[in-house]
A = this chain, B = another copy of it.
Amino acid sequence: MRELTVKETAQRLLECESAHILIHRRPDGDCTGSGFALMYALRSMGRKARVLCSDEIPEKFHFLMPEVETLEEFHPEMIISADIADEQLFGENLTEYEGRVDLCIDHHISNTGYAKELCLDGNAAAACQVAYEVIREMGIPFTREIAMCLYTGIATDTGCFMHDNAKARTFEIVSEIMTMYPDIPYADINRRMFTIKSIGRLRLEGLLAEQIESFADGRFTVITITKELMEKYGIAESDFEGLAGFPLQVEGAEVGAVIKEREGGECRISLRSAGDMNVSLICQSFGGGGHKRAAGCSIYASPQETKQLIIDAVLKGFEQA
């Protein structure tokens, strides 16, 4: 694997006659945005390019895709991947591309270096931020489609500029995009990406809010979801995606836990920290793991017993700090 500069990467794309652009399974705004932005950039030069994804692209990102796809099948000269840190993220329908990626454009410092050439900026908020630098360097017209794709990827990967990956250059790039295209409906895009929820999701959040319990003077908040509750409200485990941080919304909470009862006497625990406590140590003590501020583990006990074990462990952690 060879690391490329933005300039070298731009040169590769300027010379590329045709490409398949891979994005990761379970596609999000950033891989969709960077994949399609690169596709539009190549097509704007009359080259053949197509985005491939193992999973269907969610409807909320369809506005980034061509309304009608007229390009016929072609044999690509080059295989490009966007926002994919690891070949394991290709997904089951793209395994044929393993070991075959010519150029990867990414922002994950964890990138495994599976591609022949890699354009990586670990400080970039999003793959779309790297793609922006590359497309600017190419010197081709920066179309409205490209602008929408890159804005959307940057906005989604930063949680609408809320997370600490949104840095000076990130804001500067958005300013440049908005200067070029002041009339793109950015606020409408944000609303679609961040505010709008299915009524089921909204009701689930309501249910979670009702179940919150506070311990240690509110420093630890816990939500326990029993099988009974999930059946009563028709909730699947997949519905909980992205909700592990929910208990940390509460004022004063430093650590939050979501405990979900599973089949076979298992309880799955997601722990999140907003402060100094290293929750991966607590999860490790139960055979799990993770990072300082986000970790998980399983305990084979009733929800009530599991909750007590976690409360004891977190309270002990507060005492030791």
* A residues in contact (CB < 8 Å) with B: 160-164, 166-172, 174-176, 178-179, 182, 185-187, 190-191, 194-199, 202-203, 205-210, 212, 214, 218, 248-251, 274
Contacts and interface: CB of A to CB of B under 8 A. Distances in A.
Contacts of A207: 206
Contacts of A196: 249-251
Given A168-B175, A209-B205, A199 B160 contact: no
Contacts of A160: 160-162
Contacts of A172: 171-172, 175
A204 B71 CA distance: 51
Contacts of A182: 167-168
7 contacts: A160-B161, A162-B195, A168-B176, A169-B175, A197-B251, A203-B212, A205-B206
For the complex of A and B, 7 pairs with smallest distance between CB atoms: A206-B209, A206-B206, A164-B187, A171-B175, A168-B178, A172-B175, A168-B179
A251 B198 contact: yes
A186 B169 contact: no
Given A171-B172, A202-B250, 20 more contacts: A160-B161, A164-B185, A166-B187, A167-B178, A168-B175, A168-B179, A168-B182, A169-B175, A171-B174, A172-B172, A196-B249, A196-B251, A197-B249, A197-B250, A197-B251, A198-B250, A199-B214, A202-B249, A203-B212, A206-B210
